[in-house]
A and B are shown apart, each in its own frame.
Chain A
Amino acid sequence: MGKVFSNFVSPLKYLFIWGYFSLTFGLFIWVLITSFKSNREIFSNPFGLPESFNIDNYIFALFDVNMVMYLLNSLIVAVATVLLCFVLGSTVSYALSRFEFKGNTFLYLLFIIGLTIPLQSLIYPMFFKMHTLGLRDTIFGIIIVYTALNLPKTVFLLVGFMKGIPKEMEEAAIIDGCNYWNVFSKVVIPMSKPVLATVGILVFIAAWNEYIFATVLISSDVTKTLPLGLASFQSSHLSEYGLIAAGVIISIIPVLIAYILFQEQIIKGMASGAVKG
C-alpha cells in the first residue's frame, strides 16, 4: 500500500520541483534573452532566441541612460550603510552584551522594539526629518535613513552572538594589561567575524534593493539609486522592452555574483535575519 502510494507520489514530486524550477529559472532566462533583442524581434518572436547577441541595449542602458551612475550610487549607499551599521551597531552591542549595568535590559529592548515595526510606515516622518535637515535628495541622507532602519536588526544579531563569546578571553586580555578598547578591537571584533559577515550581507542586500524610501527621499537624477533609476527608466522608455530587460539584468548581476560567491552565508544570513528579525 505504502509502496503504491510512493510510486504515485514520485513523478508528482519531480514534476513539482522541476516545474517550479522552470518557472523561476525560465523567467530569468527569458528576461536575459529579451535583453539582447530589438523591439521588432520581441514582438514578432517573443519566445525565440535573438537573431544575434546584440549588446546595443546594454550599452545604451549603461551609458546613455546612465545606469553606471545609478550603479555607483547604489554601491556607495550600500557599502556606507554597512560600514555605519558596523560602527554604530558593534560598539553598542559590545556594551550591551559584555557589561552589566543598570538599564541594560531597557536599552536592549529599546533597540528590539524596532524589529516589530513595519518600517515602511515611517516614510512620512523620515521624509520631513530629512527635509528639515537639508538632507533630502542627498546620498548622505539616504545612507542615514538606511542605517537607522537596519540598526535594530544589526544590534539584535550582534548582541545575540557576542553574548556567546566566552568571558575568560576578555579577562585574560584585561589581566595582560589591555584596556576595554583593546579588548573590543582585538578580541571581540575578530571573534565576531561570522556574525558581522551575516549582518553585512543582510544590510547590503536590503540597501541595494530598497525602493520605497528611495522613491520618497530622492528626486534628482544624479542621486538615484539603482532600483529607483530602473523604475524611472521604465517610465521614460515605456515600450522599449529590450532596453528595460537589459536594465533588469544589469541591476541583478552584482547581487547575483555576490550570491554565487557567498551562497551559504547569504542563505543562512537571510533565514536567520528573517526568523529573528
Chain B
Amino acid sequence: MVRQRMLTLICFIVPTLLFYIYFFLNPVIDTFYNSLFDWDGISPKVFLFVDNYIELFTDPIFYKSLLNTFYWVFLVLVVQIPIGFFLAYFIYQRVKGYKFLRTVYFIPVITSSVAVSLAFSFIYEAQFGILNSFLKLIGLDNLTTAWLQDSLTAMTAVSLPFVWNYIGLMMVILYSGLQSVPNELIEAAEMDGVNALQKIVYVILPSLRNVLVICLVLGISYAFKQFDYVLLLTNGGPVHLTEVTGTYMYKQGFSETRYGYGNAIAITMMFIVIVFTMVINRMLQPKDI
C-alpha cells in the first residue's frame, strides 16, 4: 500500500510538474536572466549586469508609458469601479429587468479584445464613426476630430475600451460581495432613517471593503496586462503619446530587436504588480478573507 501510494504520487505529480517548470517557471527565470544582457536575438549575448535597468530608469519614454499605465489604474479607480458598483447595487436592489440587464452588462467581458478594439475603432473613425456622425447630427461639427490621432484625445480614446471591457466583471464581483452584506445591517440602518446616499456611504461601502480591494488589485494587474487595445488602436502613437508599459515592452523586442531591454521592462512590470498586490493585501485586514 505504501509503495502504491508513493507510485501514485509520482505518477500524478511529476508529469505536470515537469511541464510547468519547463514551460512556465523557466520562462519566468529566463525573463530575468535575459534582462541582464544586451541581445538582438541572433548575435551572442553581451553581459551588461544592471545596465538595462539603469537605462530604463533614465528613459523618458518609459516614464511616459508608466504614467499612462497609472492613468489606467486611475480610471479603474474613478470610473470602472464606481460604475461597476452602481450597476451592481441597482441590480442587487432588483430593479425591473435586472436579470436581463446583468446579462447584457457582462457581454463585453467575454468579448475578445480584438473585437472590442475594432468596434471602438468604428466609434472613433473620422468620417462615419458614431462619435463624429453624432456630433454632426446635433450641429457640433467643430468638435469632430480624428480621436485616436489628436494629441488631446488619443490617450482617453484608447483607454475607454479597456475601461468598458471590464466594468461588467467589476459589477459581478461587487454584486457577489453585496449578497454577503448582512440584511440586518441594512434594515437597522433603514430603521434609523438614513437616506439612500447615507446607506451607501456608511453601511454598504464599509462592508464591501475587502471586495473593493480585490477589484483594485484586479484593476492594477489588468492595467499592466491588457495592452491589446493600445497595440491594435494606436500602437502607442502619435509619438509615444499613448504608449503603455506593455506596448513599450512589446516593441523593444519585436520592432527594435532589443530583447534584453524588453525583458528588463517585463521584469519591472512584474515587480510593480507584485509589490502593489502585496502592499494592498497587507492593508487588508486578515479578519474575514
- A interface residues (Cβ-Cβ under 8 A, vs B): 1-2, 5-6, 9, 13-14, 16-17, 20-21, 24-25, 27-28, 30-31, 34, 42-43, 46-47, 88-89, 91-92, 94-96, 99, 101, 107, 110-111, 114, 116-129, 144-145, 147-149, 151-152, 179-181, 184, 205, 208-209, 211-212, 215-216, 226-228, 230-231, 234, 241, 244-245, 247-248, 251-252, 255-256, 259-260, 263, 266-268, 270-271, 274-275
Contacts and interface: CB of A to CB of B under 8 A. Distances in A.
Q: How large is the interface on B (under 10, 10 to 19, 20 to 34, 35 or more residues)?
A: 35 or more
Contacts of A16: 86, 90
Contacts of B20: 88, 110-111, 114, 148, 151
B270 A118 contact: yes
**B108, B176, B249, B266 pick with most chain A CB within 10 angstroms:** B266
A124 B9 contact: no
Binding site secondary structure of chain B: helix
B8 A181 contact: yes
Contacts of B118: 230-231, 234, 244, 247-248
A44 B31 CA distance: 51
Given A122-B27, A267-B172, A271-B169, A89 B16 contact: yes
A227 B193 CA distance: 53
B86 to A, nearest CB: 6
B26 to A, nearest CB: 7
Contacts of B137: 47
B195 A107 contact: no
A209 B87 CA distance: 25
A182 to B, nearest CB: 11
B31 A122 contact: yes
A216 to B, nearest CB: 7
B242 interface: no
Given A24-B108, A118-B224, 11 more contacts: A2-B194, A5-B195, A6-B196, A122-B27, A124-B253, A124-B262, A128-B41, A144-B23, A180-B8, A270-B172, A274-B173
Contact of B227 (A27, A46, A212, A216): A212
Interface of B: 4-5, 8-9, 11-13, 15-17, 19-20, 23-28, 30-31, 34, 41, 83, 86-87, 90, 95, 101-115, 118-119, 121-123, 125, 127-130, 133, 137, 164, 167, 169, 172-173, 176, 193-197, 214, 218, 221, 224-225, 227-228, 231-232, 246, 249-250, 253-254, 259, 262-263, 266-267, 269-270, 273-274, 277
Given A148-B19, A148-B23, A5 B95 contact: no
A143 B11 CA distance: 23
A46 B111 contact: no
Binding site secondary structure of chain A: helix
Contact of A30 (B115, B121, B130, B224): B130
Contacts of A122: 24, 27-28, 31, 266
Contacts of A119: 225
Nearest to A2: B195
Nearest to A267: B172
B265 to A, nearest CB: 8
Contacts of A259: 106-107, 110
Contacts of A120: 224-225, 227, 246
Nearest to A208: B112
27 contacts: A17-B95, A24-B164, A31-B122, A43-B128, A47-B130, A88-B19, A92-B12, A92-B16, A101-B9, A116-B274, A117-B28, A117-B274, A118-B221, A121-B31, A123-B249, A123-B266, A125-B28, A129-B30, A147-B23, A148-B23, A149-B24, A209-B110, A215-B231, A230-B118, A256-B110, A266-B106, A274-B173
Contacts of B197: 5, 9
A1 B195 contact: yes
A118 B20 CA distance: 16
Given A13-B95, A16-B86, A267-B172, A110 B25 contact: yes
Contact of B12 (A95, A129, A152): A95
Contacts of B104: 21, 24-25
A121 B218 CA distance: 16
- In the A-B complex, the 5 residue pairs with the smallest Cβ-Cβ separation, listed nearest first, are A121-B266, A125-B27, A209-B112, A125-B30, A148-B23
A118 B27 CA distance: 13
**A20, A88, A125, A266 pick with most chain B CB within 10 angstroms:** A125
A195 to B, nearest CB: 17
Contacts of B164: 24
Contacts of B24: 114, 122, 148-149, 151-152
B128 A124 contact: no
Contact of B26 (A96, A129, A230, A268): A129
A47 B267 CA distance: 46
B254 A216 contact: yes
A92 B13 contact: yes
A91 B105 CA distance: 36
A73 to B, nearest CB: 14
